[in-house]
Amino acid sequence: MKTFGKNALFASVAIAIGFIGQPALADDIQPYFNARVNAPAIQADLEQKAIEIIDMANETLDMAFYDVDLEGIRDAMIRAQNERGVIVRFVTDNDNTGEENAAFLEGLDAAGIPWIDDTADGSAGSGLQHNKWIVADGRHVFMGSTNLTQSGVHGDLNAEGELISDGNDNHMVYIDSVQLSDEIRTQMDYMWGDGPGGNSDSMFGLSKPDHQRTTVYTTNDNIRIDVHFTPQSKSTFAGSGLDTIIKWVSDDADGRIDVAQFVISSQDVADAMELRHDAGMPVRGIGDSSFFFRDYSEFNDMRGVEIAKDDGTFEIDSFTGTPNNVWENPVDVRVASVMGGDKWHHKYYAADSSVLTGSHNTSGAASFTNDEAIIIIYDQETASEFEGHFSVAYCFAGGGAEEDCLDSGVVAPPETDPVAGTWEGVVFTESEVSAVLDIANNANTKTLDNDVGLDSRAARNISKAGTITTMDELADVAYVGTSALNKLKDYIPVWQAK
């Protein structure tokens, strides 16, 4: 069955490192963004990247997401367990186990994939199980701001299944780190307990042992990463997630502070940034329209505006009691330019030499109530890639034209190879669809069987099918499923070289 993918505009650099089979990762850390960027940042289909990480798993697969509904993700998880014998664990939030997620979760149930939500501890649910990560084989980590949903990645669909938006502006980061994987596995163990249907021994929220900021390193390049899991008790601000953000702002940020936040409601973080700005640090910000102008939004303080609450009083931080503080030297913070009902969903801060990101919004709820993760990546190359995203978004948020915002005066990166859709959990670009249909219609049975490596029944049935004009028709051929489509896709370079 086809699902619609984002008809994104991919820069040539993104296409150049596109994956066939296992990811060809350039180094230990690689961020991906689903919106337009300037080099060295890379725009990519975040669903496909997530599938590629899942497909790397041969032993274990740990996933925790606030919200997931993409069929391609579900099917990749099922392949991992049922075709490769991978031990799969999936944790989500009880807010997202209803009708909109039913097809995803029922598919896991039918395949015997175990999953729990944050009611597995016997409660009505924690604040939010808001983590967003994939860990494959205790080494390959994929984490960031993205919920793997249709609206979160590709865009909203109308009643006819047609895309009517671009998708929330989001990012994910691939990290090769055994040490980081170990830290995440500990959190998974706490949340998982003995898994579904067992004792109520899962731990969420404040019932988990405290895990403050810890330093780990990547596997090959020895890049430093600090990781912090929340929540901590609000009675002790020191060592909290917000404290980690403040220490990065105050001590680590160099050259600039770029604020890319869905919501920022922590007065204490805003006050720390004001001190750096008053000392000469350039500060820029982009926020989402749904929160930007609310009375508790710190973007108001940053732009020098005080907004009263309905009762005429002004905001006091509800978690720390810190009073409102309008900046005497305002900065240019902007509302993100996104389409329709899409959201600016990022949770990152970027400087010249480091980036702070993860699932953690800059709020008291994220720090003192929710299950969240913060990572700080101390790597100039990674920071440059985040700047390549932020600078474009900041330009568009200021009303800039494409020729002003994108490098080299390019009006828009060419749609060289947009995603056409997903069949049986396999994502195909338009050129890949054309190539696979060419193989199906012109390769003989022997080639399909011996060279492509299809099941002999699939090879015979494709040859007997006559002219196959669409991917839907190909996917409907008996014995043509996920494995066959992956093999046909992998065979494209060999076929085109003949």
CB 451 within 8 A of CB 494: yes
* Residues sharing a CB contact under 8 Å with residue 197, sequence separation 6 or more, in sequence order: none
CB 279 within 8 A of CB 300: no
CB 323 within 8 A of CB 316: yes
Q: What's the confidence (pLDDT) of residue 299? A: 97
Cis omega (within 30 of 0) on the bond before 493? no
First to last CA, the chain: 31
**Single-letter amino acid code for the residue at 374:** I
Q: What's the confidence (pLDDT) of residue 418? A: 66
pTM, two decimal places: 0.79
Indicate the range of 356-360, 398-402, 412-416 predicted with least confidence. 412-416
**Structure confidence by residue, pLDDT tens digits, 117-154:** 999 999 988 799 999 999 999 999 999 999 999 999 99
DSSP 96: G
CB 450 within 8 A of CB 421: no
| Residue in 73, 205, 204 with CA at minimum distance from that of residue 148 | 73
Buried b (16+ CB within 10 A) or exposed e, 340-367: eebbbbbbbbbbebbbbbbbbbbbbbbb
Rounded-to-integer distance, Cα 472 and Cα 1, Å:
7
pLDDT band of residue 21 (cuts 50, 70, 90) is very low
Question: For residue 53, what are its two tokens?
Answer: 């990480």
Indicate the range of 302-306, 309-313, 402-406, 426-430 predicted with least confidence. 426-430
Rounded-to-integer distance, Cα 60 and Cα 49, Å:
18
Rounded-to-integer distance, Cα 114 and Cα 56, Å:
19
* Residues sharing a CB contact under 8 Å with residue 349, sequence separation 6 or more, in sequence order: 245, 248, 249, 253, 257, 258, 259, 260, 261, 355, 356, 357
CB 389 within 8 A of CB 441: no
Q: What's the confidence (pLDDT) of residue 423? A: 83
H or E stretch at 277: helix 267-278
* Residues sharing a CB contact under 8 Å with residue 319, sequence separation 6 or more, in sequence order: 234, 266, 364, 365, 367, 368
Rounded-to-integer distance, Cα 65 and Cα 134, Å:
9
Question: For residue 349, what are its two tokens?
Answer: 């801060």
pLDDT band of residue 428 (cuts 50, 70, 90) is confident
Q: What's the confidence (pLDDT) of residue 422? A: 77
Gyration radius of the chain over CA positions: 23
Q: What's the confidence (pLDDT) of residue 420? A: 76
Rounded-to-integer distance, Cα 45 and Cα 155, Å:
12
**Structure confidence by residue, pLDDT tens digits, 157-195:** 888 888 899 999 999 999 999 999 999 999 999 999 999
CB 38 within 8 A of CB 118: no
CB 357 within 8 A of CB 226: no
| Residue in 251, 270, 229 with CA at minimum distance from that of residue 366 | 229
Cis omega (within 30 of 0) on the bond before 40? yes
pLDDT band of residue 48 (cuts 50, 70, 90) is very high
Evaluate if residue 411 carries a pLDDT over 60: no
DSSP 5: P
**Structure confidence by residue, pLDDT tens digits, 465-492:** 999 999 999 999 999 998 899 899 989 9
pLDDT band of residue 417 (cuts 50, 70, 90) is low
Evaluate if residue 441 carries a pLDDT over 50: yes
* Residues sharing a CB contact under 8 Å with residue 214, sequence separation 6 or more, in sequence order: 183, 226, 227, 228
**Local structure of 350: helix, strand or coil:** strand
Question: For residue 69, what are its two tokens?
Answer: 């509904």
Q: What's the confidence (pLDDT) of residue 408? A: 66
Task: State the pairing for strand pair 132-136/140-144.
Answer: antiparallel
